[in-house]
Structure 1
Amino acid sequence: MRLLGTSASPFVAKVRMAAVLCGIELEFVSAETMEPSDTLLSANPLGKVPVLTTETGDQVFDSSVICEMLDRMSGNQLIPQTLDAFTRTRTFEAAASGVKDALILCLYEERFRPEDKRHAAWTERQMAKAERGLAWLEAHLDDLNEDPSVAYCALAALVGWMDLRFAGKVASQAPKVRAWTDAFFAAHPELAAVKPHLA
């Protein structure tokens, strides 16, 4: 199967980590999202990554759907099936994804909008969402199951991406999350190659 994405994307990294933990090999193909190619647009009309092309040629997106597919293919290695563990895992995943969403909006506002058209109050609201979400992740870190799950992938991908784009923020605002992430990558060195990085 082939995964279309960018090396720096936290959503792509989440999927790549999930695939490694599930023992499923994915061919990674780099895609440009700022000026999407016909290849990307034909795979996902939204022009977003990641997109998984299956062995039958079907396209699957977004990251949560792809991770759930990988989980089913592997016999539920990433998503617990008991109601309590399922709820905690998927809620934690959603919180990590929400922090990513808010921070990406802040980054895009600064990177792509002319300075005289930036909306400071809007950016502050997005940053406040991200910081509340990060605090929630810090407070609920002990809710994670002992076995690696999709929540592990979501959190590790988030922190890996924040290290690129918001260096020092995790350590200063969520020291438990920082320590957890360092320990996670130390325990799973095979994931270091697929965490967010600049190509």
Structure 2
Amino acid sequence: MKLLKAGPSPFVRKVLVTLHETGLMDQVEMVQVTASPLDPDSKLTSANPVGKVPALVRDEGPTLYDSRVICRYLDHVAGTKLYPQARIWDTLTLEATADGILEAAVLMVYEGRFRPENLRYDPWIEGQWAKVTRALAALEGRWMSHLNGPLDAGQIACACALGYLDFRHADRPWRAAHPALAEWEAGFKARDSMIATRPE
């Protein structure tokens, strides 16, 4: 299998953490591509027509994307139960919440990186951050018991989302308003899989 990846993508990091946690890391070749929304790599668009990373090129069967599909596939291959049937809807909803944080946070980065300065729209940027703050409040208010339970894909997604906020939006601190979430994140990021995939 080949994993198409680009830069410090938090969606790629979700897959890398999952590879570490499932013990499949040595079965996947890493392929660096360019994933600019303005000029994506042809290797990427031939694998994923949307032109986004990650994409998992399999030896048999079509290429898989996006990160949620890939993570679930890897868990199925390894049989590690990161998507436990007993709490599958909670796990999937938690993962979707974390991915929503990431989507909004990445769009904020893209606004500054790809849109000309005179065309940037601050209310739109703040609207994206409002999605993040609502999701963080939901994690703190609704999901702490799940986060503190047995390891699953929802926890991995949340840890990667919080790590990305620190990496790209350090000027918008989130911990003071969410002490329980901050305490959980401090423990989870000490896992070997998180240390090995920490963005530079």
| Same-fold call, TM cutoff 0.5 | yes
How much has 1:5 moved relative to structure 2?
0.8
List per-residue Cα deviations over 1:59-97 (Å, max 9, x = no partner).
110001101111211225200102xx1111111111111
Mark the runs of 5 or more structure 1 residues left unpaired by the alignment. none
CA distance in 1, matches of 2:67, 2:115: 26
State the 4+ residue runs in structure 1 displaced beyond 3 angstroms. none
Q: What is the match of residue 38 of structure 1?
A: 42
Q: What is the match of residue 62 of structure 1?
A: 66
**Secondary structure, counterpart of 2:150 in structure 1:** coil
Residue number among 50, 53, 59 corresponding to 2:54 in the alignment: 50
Q: What is the match of residue 30 of structure 2?
A: 28
How much has 1:194 moved relative to structure 2?
1.5
Taking structure 1 as reference, are residues 28 and 177 closer, same or farther at Cα in structure 2, changes over 3 Å only?
farther
List per-residue Cα deviations over 1:37-67 (Å, max 9, x = no partner).
2211111111100000112263110001101
CA distance in 1, matches of 2:122, 2:150: 41
State the Cα RMSD in Å. 1.7
Q: What is the match of residue 150 of structure 2?
A: 147
**Secondary structure, counterpart of 1:100 in structure 2:** helix
Taking structure 1 as reference, are residues 101 and 145 closer, same or farther at Cα in structure 2, changes over 3 Å only?
same
List per-residue Cα deviations over 1:139-174 (Å, max 9, x = no partner).
222223622110111011112211210116232333
Q: How many residues are matched? A: 194
Paired residues of 1:10 and 1:161 also in contact (CA < 8 A): yes
Counting aligned pairs with the same residue, the percent is: 38
Name which of structure 1's ranges 15-24 and 109-118 shifts more when overlaid on structure 2: 109-118
**Secondary structure, counterpart of 1:29 in structure 2:** strand
Paired residues of 1:170 and 1:177 also in contact (CA < 8 A): no
In the alignment, does 2:133 pair up with 1:124? no
The one-letter code of the counterpart of 1:8 is P
Q: What is the match of residue 185 of structure 1?
A: 189
In the alignment, does 2:184 pair up with 1:173? no
CA distance in 2, matches of 1:165, 1:178: 17
TM-score by structure 1 length? 0.89
Q: Which has the higher contact order (CA 8 A, sep 6+)?
A: 1
**Secondary structure, counterpart of 1:4 in structure 2:** strand
List per-residue Cα deviations over 1:99-138 (Å, max 9, x = no partner).
1111111221122212221222222211111111111112
Name which of structure 1's ranges 27-36 and 60-69 shifts more when overlaid on structure 2: 27-36
CA distance in 1, matches of 2:147, 2:175: 20
